[in-house]
Structure 1
Amino acid sequence: MKKFLSIICIVFFMGLNAQNYKTHKVKAGETIESISKLYLVTPFDIYALNPDAKENLKLNTVLIIPDSKVKNEPVQEEYRELIGYRSHKVRRKETLYSLSKKYNVTESEIKKANRSLYSENLKKGDRIRIPKYRTVISKRTLDNTIKKYTVRPKEGKWRIAYKFGITVEDLEGLNPNMKEVIQPGDELNVPNIEDTEEKAIDSTYNYYEVLPKEGFYRLKIKLGLTQEQLETLNPELKEDGLKEGMVLKIPSDVDVVTNLTDIDTTSLTLGLSNFKTKKLAVMLPFQLNKIDTDSIQETKDLIKNRRLLSVVLDFHAGVLMALDSAKQLGISTNLKVLDTRYQLAETRKILEDNDFSDYDAVIGPMNVDALDRVAISLGSDRVPVIAALTKPKEVYSNVFQTIPKDELLQKSMIDFIKADSLISNIVVISDLANKPTSDMLKREFPGAKQIFSKKDKKTDKDGFFLYPTDLENVFMPGKTVVFLETDSNSFASSVISMLNGLLVDETEIVLVTLDKNNAFEGKNIDNYHLSNLKFHYPSVNKNFEEAKPNSFVNSYRNTYGVSPSKYACRGFDITIDILLRLASAEDLYKASSNAIATEYIENKFRYNKSLFGGYTNESAYIVKYEDLKIVKVN
């Protein structure tokens, strides 16, 4: 009987070979998806010949694999080969940047040829080696079989990844020199599948990459789409299931940012696992070149009178205290502090003189242009750049924007008002420049009454005032919410005073704004009036509670003799958050899914990766004036 079965098996496999089939024995960790990529076939092709594999894929199972329909033709590639060195004597004003342009090599390549330049600056008279390369053109056959694809108009990384059934990470792996933003006409390496197997791209849809730990429940909260709706748009989900890195087709009107909802705060200290020493750099404009260290009194006066220096020193103090707190948890840090002098040229010099390729994160700089330069420079090494005290012009893929977007702050305030069932009346007061904001609020609250500032009859320009009669018969018994949207301090002061005079026993007026700017501050604004009106606004941070015990606040007071400013708290909060995230995962990217929400002294963080860029903090507070104090609204 056994002999008979052996003969049958031999005949069967001979038949397979005749029909261009092969076999594969399943190894540990392999999946149908990984095996299909290995042989350049689809999972459906394997399931068709091995139906039992769909339900039960076991170790050492022998699968029947059909021959691939795609061709593995040699691909022509260019690479640079080191052929020697030339000697160069450094002249006055020459930098690594200028030498790299002169000799058509990178700054990194010069440093590799002159190891001392990693720790020492380039000096006049130095004799260094400049590497010489030649371009070699070769043809080789790649294991993953690629072909060239020309980017079409309106195509981004997500659309192309979706089209070829791979993740964005796979696409970036195939194209290590791909630009941050790809342009029509760019040539990319893509899987060499048949044209008929490419997924159709519909310009009326958006595309979303599934993040780590995201299941259908989290996507329902984030995108507002049920599992059934996602499977209808993406039929492969029924066969393959939901996996990290998949690119899904979603309706064009789905707003990923605004569909985020609150989740429980994550305690990162409970999951620390990566205790490798963390390498951090902090780039801040200390402007030490302007300080006379021989004069103690002059230095004290400079710190007292220069607001920027005071902010920088407070932030830096918070950073140092975060390092001390992390050390008590077993997290060691190698910190490098650099003075950018608030100059782009100095930042460029810092980048030339230092190798940040193995750093876990770089905090700063404060200057927006300098931050963009650092982000671009460190992007190829995927070094996270933390925008701590400013909003970058562009959130590149390695940028973490810690300050929430204005749109999110506004939506937080609007959603907060919509959730209050006790409100009986809504009034929107604005100056003429803020009419678009007033109109937007009218769309959000159709029953709201709009009131605008009056024009000056002589100049026909905004006079920034209201007549008392403008507010007559506006406020009924019950709770009325008044949105005040203005950039004028005099207008804000006048309206706040008028509203305070309208408070009576039966009438409750709650003042709110979408943008708490300088118009609501200064000697013309009465904080008693703001407290009477329970002034609410969205905020990046809250004030720490004096009555509650806090080890950071106590330690700061003991060290410096004063309570920490909001900048000291921010320096502490951002740094401790970075260190805890780094200690709880392989890197900052892995530890920054939107399923992780953290909160510290005055700030909270929940990052959301944008479709075409980096990470933006999606956490904000609603705060209010209460008994002359600013408190967080629960």
Structure 2
Amino acid sequence: MKKILSLLLFVFTISLFGQNYKTHKVLKGETIESIAKQYLVTPFDIYALNPDIKSRLKPDTIIIIPDSKVKNEPQKEESRDLIGYKSHKVKRKETLYSISKKYNVSIEEIKKANRFLYSENLKKGDKLRIPKFKTVIYKKTFRNTVKKYVVQPKEGKWRIAYKFGITVDELEALNPNMKDVLQPGDELNVPNIANNEEKVIEEAFNYYEVLPQEGFYRLKIKTGLTQEELEELNPGLKEMGLKAGMVLKLPAKLNAEAELTEVETTALYSRLSNFKTKKIALMLPYRLNRVDTDSVSETKEMIKNSRLMSVVLDFHAGVLIAMDSAKQLGISTDLKVLDTQYQISKTRELLEENSFEDYDAVIGPMNADCFDRVATTLRRDGVPVIAAMTKPKEIYSNVFQTIPDDKLLQQAMIDFIKADSLKRQVVIISDLSKSTRSEMLKSEFPTAKLIYSRKNSKTGKDGFYINPTDLENVFPKGRSIVFLETESNALASSVISLLNGLNNENEQIVLVTLDKNSAFEGKNIDNYHLSNLNFHYPSVNKNFEDQSNSYFVKTYRKLYGVSPSKYASRGFDVTLDLLLRLASGKDLYEASADDIETEYIENKFRYKKAMFSGYVNEALYIVRYQDLRIVEVD
């Protein structure tokens, strides 16, 4: 029997090396990822040849490593050898991070040399042993390595990742300096597989990137496809198993990013399970460098006259009350407050001076360029970055955009009007600059009457007015809907006045807009007229008056003697939602499935993960003027 087994092993070994494979004996502490990196192959390659190691990788196990015929030049490798220690006395304001940077060693290397730091915090006067290393550079040749690939037209990261059987994150790891948007001709490192093993992008199919913690059950809900059907469409999936970042091929008739359906508000309070202290960074432009601490009166005057500082401080106040609310539920928070000064240079400095890899989330910054820098820097470690008060320039995979997109707001308003069974007529009134939007509305409501503002007879430019005769015989008996699309206060005030004069029991006019901007505010706009016209519009938030007895509103009034602004409410809502989600799942990604909708004082949140992008809030309100108040429409 032993002779037969030896013969089989001998034949198997010859077969392997005849097909350009090699073996590797697993050492203690090694992982599939570290072994794959050593041989510069993908974990998928190893799993495909060694399906039995998926459950557990044991030391001394012999695994098969794929080899390649392509040989690359020897690569430089570095080895750090410990040669001794030097002493360091901790000074005031020094941190492990600043000391590690000073001596060019890692924080973990300092802790290993000073074991007390694993249980105690660093303090002034501590004497540390700082390890000294000698760096040895040598050349190492890999028999199987990466190869260069030239980006083709229309190719993005996910197409290339799919083509070479790796995840987008693995492609980014192979190319640390890769641009966010690839251009034809860019040269990338990719796994060195044979040309005939590269997957082909078939335009007749859809493609979907697997989300963190997403299993076959969740995919079946999204796509309607069973595990067996997905495995049949994606050869190799059965051996590899699902992995976050994998790109799957789906039938063209399916769309894993279908529109969100209505869901009930989720009570995250009843789902709390992760009570580990949440590490949150708050990066906002406090601009403390401009504050003269020696002059209280000047500081007060600056806060009073600076709208940006007023907004930031209101938001900050909401954050603190949210943390206190979460604490009462058993959720503790380690908050780090950082002043970006509204400058990209200062933001870059903060990123260099602080380590965020173990943070649960970062809120801010407000400036679009600063936010972009933070998001791209922290993306490598998968740290969520929350766009709380502004929309980001790019929605990277770790970005959570809390403000719904304008297109979503507009479509929600259109769908709301379409569902109104009482309407008899739709009228669209628009200034000339909104002609594209008005034509879009006309296509949505083909029988609608479209009226543009008149031109100035002398200049030929938009005069931002309509004549009363333009509205003659326009409104039949019954309910009419009027879309008013403009950013002109003059046009808005005149149209609102004319419509209010025509509004009566027989001809009920309801005024709506896709974009409620400053044109609908100010001394020229009569709020009584807006209430009389039941003015409707889509909104990111609602008025908190209905929750005036809530813990947040009462606490804010007690602390500051006034009612909270919308910025304070947003600070509270965004932060409390973040902490509750973090406490109800492993991380923010797991707790942001599209079937979870939450609502607080003025805002609600339901995130949708975009293909090869981040998370966008798709929860919004339709509100209207009623009895001189703004109320939510059911």
Same fold (TM over 0.5): yes
Q: Which amino acid aligns with 2:104?
A: A
Secondary structure of the residue that 2:381 maps to in structure 1? coil
* CA distance in structure 2 between the partners assigned to 1:251 and 1:450 by the alignment: 41
Given that residues 46 and 64 in structure 2 are in contact (C-alpha distance below 8 angstroms), is that contact kept between their aligned partners in structure 1? no
Q: How does 1:257-268 map to 2 (within 5 A)?
A: 259-268=259-268
Aligned match of 2:141 in 133, 139, 142? Answer: 139
Question: 2:253 and 2:446 mapped to 1: Cα distance?
Answer: 22
In 1, the alpha carbon distance for the partners of 2:66 and 2:294 equals: 77
**Aligned-partner residue type, residue 235 of structure 1:** L
The Cα shift of 1:264 comes to 2.5
Shift of 1:506: 1.9
In the alignment, what sits opposite 2:310?
Answer: 310
* Residue 479 of structure 1: aligned partner: 479
C-alpha displacement of 1:246: 4.3
Deviations 1:521-575 (A, max 9, x none): 1111111111111111111111124366411112212222222111011101111
Give the letter for the 1:412 counterpart.
A
Per-residue deviation, 1:381? 3.0
Instruction: Name the aligned partner's letter for residue 156 of structure 2.
Output: G
Q: Is the 8 A contact 1:210 1:248 kept in 2?
A: yes
> In 1, Cα distance between the equivalents of 2:475 and 2:580?
50
Q: What amino acid does structure 1 have at the position aligned with 2:609?
A: K
| 3-state SS in 1 of match to 2:392 | coil
Q: RMSD of the TM alignment (CA)?
A: 4.4
Letter in 2 for 1:113: N
- Contact 2:464 2:490 survives alignment (8 Å): yes
Partner of 1:579: 579
Number of the residue aligned with 2:607: 607
Tell me the percent identity: 59
Q: Alpha-carbon deviations, 1:296-323, whole Å to 9, x = none? A: 4443333333222211111000011111
Q: Which residue of 1 aligns with 2:46?
A: 38
The residue type paired with residue 233 of structure 2 is: P
- 1:616 maps to 2:624: no
1:449-474 superposed Cα distances (whole Å, 9 cap, x missing partner): 11100000000000000011111111
Counterpart secondary structure, 1:465? coil
Distance 2:627 2:602 in 1: 20
Letter in 1 for 2:140: S
Paired residues for 1:201-212 under 5 Å: 201-203=201-203, 207-212=207-212
Q: Give, in whole Å, the separation in 2 of the partners of 1:68 and 1:547.
A: 62
Q: Answer with 396-405 or 255-264: which moved more.
A: 255-264
TM-score by length of 2: 0.77
Letter in 1 for 2:480: T
Instruction: Report what 1:51 is aligned to.
Output: none
Q: What SS does structure 1 have at the residue aligned with 2:389?
A: coil
* Offset of residue 408 of structure 1: 1.3
Which 10-residue stretch deviates more, 457-466 or 338-347? 338-347
Match of 2:233 among 232, 235, 238: 235
- 361-370 vs 176-185, greater mean Cα deviation: 176-185
Which residue of the partner structure matches residue 410 of structure 2?
410
How far did residue 511 of structure 1 move? 1.1
Map of 1:500 onto structure 2: 500
Q: Show CA shifts across 1:248-298 (max 9, x none).
A: 346889987772233233322333333222222212222233334344444
Structure 1 unaligned spans of 5+: 1-5, 23-29, 47-56, 60-65, 86-105, 121-127
SS at match of 1:335: strand
C-alpha distance 209-36 of structure 1, shift in aligned 2 (>3 A): closer
Contact (CA 8 Å) 1:221, 1:259: kept in 2 or not?
Answer: no
Find out whether 1:431 has 2:439 as its counterpart.
no
Equivalent AA in structure 2 for residue 617 of structure 1: N
Deviation at 1:244, TM superposition (A): 5.8
In 2: Cα distance, 1:107 partner to 1:380 partner: 21
Deviations 1:159-199 (A, max 9, x none): 22333444434544555665443444445555555433433
Work out the CA distance in 2 between the residues paired with 1:221 and 1:414: 28
- Shift, 1:13, TM fit: 6.0
Q: Which residue of 1 aligns with 2:337?
A: 337
Q: Aligned ranges for residues 542-553 of structure 1 at < 5 Å?
A: 542-546=542-546, 549-553=549-553
Provide the rounded CA distance (Å) in 2 between the counterparts of 1:42 and 1:446. Answer: 61
Contact 2:365 2:371 in 1 (8 A): yes
Paired residue for 2:104?
A: 113
SS of 1:420's equivalent in the other structure is coil
Instruction: Measure, in 2, the Cα distance between the counterparts of 1:78 and 1:265.
Output: 56
Q: Decide which moves more: 455-464 or 244-253.
A: 244-253
The residue that corresponds to 1:50 in the other structure is: none
> In structure 2, how many angstroms separate the alpha carbons of the residues matched to 1:40 and 1:531?
66
Match of 1:102 in 2: none
Aligned residue number for residue 38 of structure 2 = none
CA distance in 2, matches of 1:553, 1:14: 75
Amino acid in the other structure paired with 1:364: G
Tell me how far apart the structure 2 counterparts of residues 188 and 433 of structure 1 sit (CA, whole Å): 44
Distance 1:238-1:196 versus aligned 2 partners, 3 A rule: closer
Once the two structures are superposed, what CA deviation does each residue of 1:402-428 show, in whole Å capped at 9, x if it has no partner? 111111111111122222222221111
SS in 2 for 1:314: helix
Give 1:15 deviation, angstroms: 11
Quickly say closer, same or farther: Cα 1:140–1:451, change in 2 above 3 A: same
Structure 1 letter corresponding to 2:142: R
1:53 equivalent in structure 2? none
Corresponding residue number in structure 2 for 1:288: 288
Per-residue displacement from partner, 1:320-377 (whole Å, max 9, x unpaired)?
1111112122222121212222233332333333333332222112112222222233
Q: Check conservation: 1:113, 1:131, Cα contact below 8 A.
A: no
Equivalent residues in 2 for 1:393-472, closer than 5 Å: 393-472=393-472
Pick which of 203-212 and 499-508 moved more.
Answer: 203-212
Change (3 A) 1:364 1:133: farther
* 3-state secondary structure, aligned to 1:433: helix
Partner in structure 2 of residue 52 of structure 1? none
Partner of 1:591: helix, strand, or coil?
helix
Cα shift at 1:203:
4.8
Secondary structure at the aligned position of 1:564 is classed as coil
Helix, strand or coil at the partner of 2:590: coil
Cα distance change, pair 308–460 in 1 and its aligned pair in 2 (3 A): same
Does residue 383 of structure 2 align to residue 383 of structure 1? Answer: yes
Structure 2 Cα separation of the partners of residues 130 and 253 of structure 1: 61
Distance in 1, Cα, partners of 2:385 & 2:529:
42
Judge conservation of contact 1:481–1:511 (CA < 8 Å) in 2: yes
> 1:361 corresponds to which residue?
361
Relative to 1, partners in 2 of residues 1:434 and 1:58: Cα closer, same or farther, differing over 3 Å?
closer
Cα distance in 1, alignment partners of residues 520 and 286 from structure 2: 30
Q: Distance in 2 between matches of 1:242 and 1:357?
A: 25
Residue pairs, 1:593-604, within 5 angstroms: 593-604=593-604
TM-score, normalised relative to structure 1: 0.77
The separation in 1 between residues aligned to 2:253 and 2:440, in whole angstroms, is 18
- Does the 8 Å contact 1:623/1:631 carry over to 2? yes
1:178/1:292 Cα in 2 relative to 1: closer, same or farther (>3 Å)? closer
Q: Which residue does the alignment assign to 1:518?
A: 518
